[in-house]
């Protein structure tokens, strides 16, 4: 395929300052006009957006455009320092980027791209000059770029992009998320690739190994094509498996559900054979900029989701898990230690107005589809907190009854087990709810005291840590003793290497990202439950993470050998 090279050359604009306040006022008006135009463009793109990832990214950009810190810096540079409008935008963006780079975390790096994108668009609107050489693509190409701004990717004709190769970036960047949602293979961190190939030159991308070949020989192209065909065939076979139940070879049924953020994920979940939604992360309802969902709107969304899954299985609605790294700027004040702070039910119990609306909406939705909606509370830290939350829920139910609102009186309620104190008291919690769902993402973070988003200490973040296995086993035993429904909805539930161990620990219900369902189902169908139990028993006797890793590796190697043999 031919390469199409995108480089972001700095636009040319005058470095001349304004001569007087009248000129400065004119530059300010010029900037405000450009800002309104860019916002209009963003909203037009939002209307055309084909999925929620695109909308979220565009919303972040519209938000950045109007960010008070950004806009007041620009105003100050123009009115007080007499900068012309493009200079002021470039300088203000530079200052904010400097600040963000010092903060280090991935989340802030993503904000840097948003600032860069917004600044580029403002400047190109102000100077009426194009930043990049992006144009209408006439044939399918491999885009090789120094960087691609989300707005640029959204402006391109997706059907003409065979792959994207970037000098920088990473797999969790906004562009990576967009590329995934558009089904475009993407390769990152290629250093100076964009300056080593010219537009029109031949290129090939090995999506599996993440290698960009410049001017590849025929043999390489044939190999890449062959591997791509194999991959497509494998995906096709996996899809055929989607209709088969996840049953181990010795007949133990494992339920596979999906984790979803909203309506968008329903189609892929159903296609991949989800047997219900084990986790609906409702915080997305609070995170939509400039919008609050009324009781009616929420009830409608929840009922729609329950009906979309219909007889496949119930939808487990988790009440708002805001706070921690999911800060909603309108609702939160800055906290020194947000992960241990005003999060999830702690937030909801002090903002009962918001919580009540959500609970009433869930109850109302349940009235139209009894048995198909379950309610789950996040971040419960122990029996007292659970009692308080449940008693508030009872008061909301009583309120609905007195208003004659029909709801599912037998609606199942459960708690997430994602705080170590909840796992340790799971024997007590088990008598208060109908189900447990273990959130290994947070349980790991809090058990090992390792920030789940901090790359510097990610070597410690092991969901199968010795301490974690003990907590998982204790929770599983507590659930079994009370004949409680038990599932896992953290990322560990979809880790193909660790599924045998998780099943062996007693988890017969796993909830995961829709994309992981097919491979999880195929794996489960190749397992013997009794072998998984033996594996879990051995792992629980181990005293080091490395030994657990080795044990699991050996177990998986044997499964693979058996499959091939
Ligand atoms: C978890 O903590 O494992 C979990 C599923 O919740 P979230 O990732 O939304 O915090
Ligand atoms: Mg969690």
How much is the mean pLDDT over the chain? 88
326 CB near ligand 1 (under 6 Å)? no
Q: Is residue 240 part of a domain?
A: no
User: For residues 223 and 219, what is the distance between their CA atoms, to the nearest angstrom?
Assistant: 6
Ligand 1 contact, 321 CB (< 6 A):
yes
Q: In the chain, count of helices (H) and strands (E)?
A: 23, 14
- Domain stops at, among 232, 260, 283: 232
> Last residue of some domain: 182, 201, 232?
232
Residue 452: pLDDT over 80: yes
Mean pLDDT computed over 295-324: 93
pLDDT at 484: 98
3-state secondary structure of 164: strand
Distance, in Å, from the CA atom of 425 to the CA atom of 479, rounded to the nearest integer, reads 11
Distance CA 543, CA 204 (A): 47
Task: Kindly give the pairing relationship between strand 141-145 and strand 161-166.
Answer: parallel
Classify residue 161: in a domain, yes or no.
yes
- Domain count for the chain: 2
Domain finish residue from 232, 264, 295:
232
Rounded mean pLDDT, 156-185:
77
- Please check whether residues 155 and 287 belong to one and the same domain: no
d(CA 473, CA 488): 12
Q: Which of 449, 446, 557, 545 minimizes the C-alpha distance to 496? A: 557
Segment 497-508 shows an average pLDDT of 98
- How many Å apart are CA 65 and CA 68, to the nearest integer? 9
pLDDT of residue 10: 65
* Residues 207 and 312 grouped into a single domain: no
**pLDDT confidence bin for 501, thresholds 50/70/90:** very high
> Is residue 244 a part of any domain in this protein?
no
Segment 511-533 shows an average pLDDT of 93
pLDDT tens string 220-266:
888 888 888 877 777 777 777 777 889 999 999 999 999 998 887 89
Indicate which residue's Cα is closest to atom 9 of ligand 1: 281
Residue 131 is predicted with a pLDDT of 52
* pLDDT digits 0-9 by tens, 358-401: 999 999 999 999 999 999 999 999 999 999 999 999 999 999 99
Distance of CA 437 to CAs 182, 260, 455, 487, 489, Å?
31, 15, 26, 5, 6
Average of per-residue pLDDT across 57-80: 89
Q: Is residue 309, in this structure, part of any structural domain at all? A: yes
Mean pLDDT in residue range 488-516: 95
* Atom of ligand 1 at shortest range from CA of 378: 6
Show the tokens assigned to 452.
């789940």
User: Mean pLDDT lowest for which of 260-264, 321-325, 421-425, 452-456?
Assistant: 452-456
Same domain, 179 and 307: no
User: Considering the domain boundaries, does residue 239 fall inside one?
Assistant: no
Q: How many CB atoms lie within 10 A of CB 129?
A: 13
Tell me phi and psi for residue 509, to 5 degrees: -135, 125
193 and 263 inside one domain: no
What is residue 354's three-state secondary structure? helix
Nearest-atom number in ligand 1 for the CA of 324 is: 10
Of 241 and 192, the one with more pLDDT? 192
For 20-29, write each residue's pLDDT tens digit.
999 999 999 9
Looking at per-residue pLDDT, the higher value among 14 and 494 belongs to 494
Q: Is 339 a domain residue?
A: yes
Which residue blocks in 276-332 are alpha helix, DSSP H?
284-287, 295-309
Q: Which helix (H) or strand (E) holds 538?
A: helix 529-541
**Does residue 31 lie within any of the structural domains?**
yes
Q: How far apart are CA 235 and CA 227, in angstroms?
A: 12
Retrieve residue 280's tokens: 């609906």
More confident of the two residues 93 and 360: 360
Two tokens at 514?
Answer: 């829709």
Q: Is 504 in the pocket of ligand 1 (CB under 6 A)?
A: no
Q: Supply the CATH number for residue 21's domain.
A: 3.50.30.10
In angstroms, what is the span from residue 379 Cα to ligand 2's centroid? 7
Confidence of residue 437 (pLDDT cuts 50, 70, 90): very high
Predicted local distance difference test score (pLDDT) of residue 41: 85
Query: Can 489 be counted among the known catalytic residues?
Result: yes
- Mean pLDDT in residue range 479-490: 97
Whether the CB of 490 sits within 6 Å of ligand 1: yes
Alpha helices, H only, 378-498: 383-402, 420-424, 426-429, 440-448, 466-481
Instruction: Note the pTM of the prediction, 2 decimals.
Output: 0.66
Assess whether 97 and 186 both reside in one domain: yes
Taken in order 550, 556, 559, 565, the sign of the CA dihedral is: negative
Residues 217 and 275 in one domain: no
Is 241 domain-assigned? no
Q: Whole domain around residue 189: which residue ranges?
A: 1-232
DSSP H or E stretch at residue 21: helix 21-48
A 10 A CB-CB count for 554 gives 10
Together in a domain, 204 and 295? no
* Ligand 1 atom 10: residue of nearest CA: 442
> Which ligand does the CA of 441 lie closest to?
1
Give 81's pLDDT tier (boundaries 50, 70, 90): very high
pLDDT of residue 172: 53
Q: Among candidates 415, 421, 422, which has minimal Cα distance to 436?
A: 415
- Asked if the model's pLDDT at residue 348 lies above 70, the reply is yes
Q: Is the pLDDT of residue 130 over 60?
A: no
Q: Say if residue 295 is in the same domain as residue 168.
A: no
Look up the CATH number of the domain holding residue 540: 3.20.20.60
Same domain as 262, residue 167: no
Which ligand sits closest to the CA of 318?
Answer: 1
The three-state secondary structure class of 214 is strand
On whether both 452 and 501 belong to a single domain, the answer is yes
- Rounded-to-5 percentages of helix, strand, coil across the chain: 55, 10, 35
Residue nearest to atom 6 of ligand 1 (CA): 439
Say if residue 141 is in the same domain as residue 81.
Answer: yes
> Are 256 and 228 contained in the same domain?
no
Q: Which residue has the higher pLDDT, 503 or 151?
A: 503
């Amino acid at each position: 395929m031919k390469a199409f090279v995108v480089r972001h050359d700095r636009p040319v604009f005058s470095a001349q300052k304004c001569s007087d306040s009248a000129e400065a006022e004119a530059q300010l008006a010029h900037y405000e006009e450009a800002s309104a135009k860019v916002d209009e463009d963003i909203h037009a793109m939002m209307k055309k957006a084909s999925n929620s990832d695109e909308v979220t990214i565009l919303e972040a950009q519209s938000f950045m455009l109007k960010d008070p810190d950004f806009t007041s810096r620009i105003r100050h540079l123009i009115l007080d320092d007499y900068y012309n409008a493009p200079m002021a935008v470039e300088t203000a963006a530079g200052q904010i980027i400097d600040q963000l780079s010092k903060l280090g975390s991935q989340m802030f790096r993503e904000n840097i791209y948003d600032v860069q994108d917004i600044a580029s668009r403002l400047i190109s609107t102000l100077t009426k000059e194009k930043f990049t050489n992006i144009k209408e693509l006439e044939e399918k190409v491999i885009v090789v770029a120094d960087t691609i701004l989300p707005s640029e990717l959204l402006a391109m004709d997706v059907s003409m992009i065979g792959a994207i190769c970037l000098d920088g970036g990473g797999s969790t960047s906004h562009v990576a998320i967009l590329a995934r949602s558009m089904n475009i293979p993407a390769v990152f961190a290629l250093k100076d690739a964009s300056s080593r190939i010219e537009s029109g030159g031949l290129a090939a991308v090995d999506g599996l190994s993440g290698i960009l070949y410049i001017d590849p020989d025929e043999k390489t192209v044939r190999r890449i094509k062959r591997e791509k065909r194999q991959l497509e065939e494998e995906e096709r076979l996996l899809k055929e498996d989607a209709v088969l139940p996840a049953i181990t070879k010795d007949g133990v049924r494992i339920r596979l559900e999906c984790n979803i953020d909203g309506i968008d994920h329903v189609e892929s979940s159903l296609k991949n054979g989800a047997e219900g939604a084990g986790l609906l992360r409702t915080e997305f309802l609070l995170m939509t900029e400039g919008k609050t969902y009324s009781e009616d709107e929420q009830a409608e969304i929840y009922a729609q989701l329950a009906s979309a899954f219909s007889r496949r299985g119930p939808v487990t609605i988790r009440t708002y898990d805001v706070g921690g790294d999911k800060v909603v700027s309108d609702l939160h004040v800055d906290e020194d230690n947000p992960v241990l702070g005003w999060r999830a039910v702690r937030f909801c119990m002090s903002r009962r107005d918001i919580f009540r609306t959500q609970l009433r909406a869930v109850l109302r939705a349940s009235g139209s589809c009894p048995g198909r909606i379950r309610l789950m509370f996040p971040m419960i830290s122990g029996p007292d907190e659970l009692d308080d939350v449940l008693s508030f829920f009872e008061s909301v139910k009583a309120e609905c009854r007195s208003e004659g609102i029909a709801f599912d009186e037998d609606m199942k309620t459960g708690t997430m087990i994602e705080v170590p104190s909840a796992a340790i008291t799971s024997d007590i919690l088990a008598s208060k709810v109908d189900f447990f769902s273990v959130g290994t993402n947070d349980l790991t973070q809090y058990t090992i005291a390792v920030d789940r988003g901090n790359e510097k200490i990610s070597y410690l973040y092991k969901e199968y840590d010795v301490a974690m296995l003990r907590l998982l086993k204790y929770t599983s035993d507590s659930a079994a003793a009370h004949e409680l429904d038990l599932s896992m909805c953290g990322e560990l539930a979809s880790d193909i290497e660790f599924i045998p161990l998780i099943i062996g620990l007693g988890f017969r219900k796993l909830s995961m990202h829709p994309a992981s369902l097919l491979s999880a189902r195929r794996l489960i169908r190749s397992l013997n439950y009794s072998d998984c139990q033996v594996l879990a028993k051995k792992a629980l006797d181990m005293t080091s993470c490395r030994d657990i890793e080795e044990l699991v590796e050996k177990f998986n190697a044997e499964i693979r050998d058996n499959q091939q043999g």
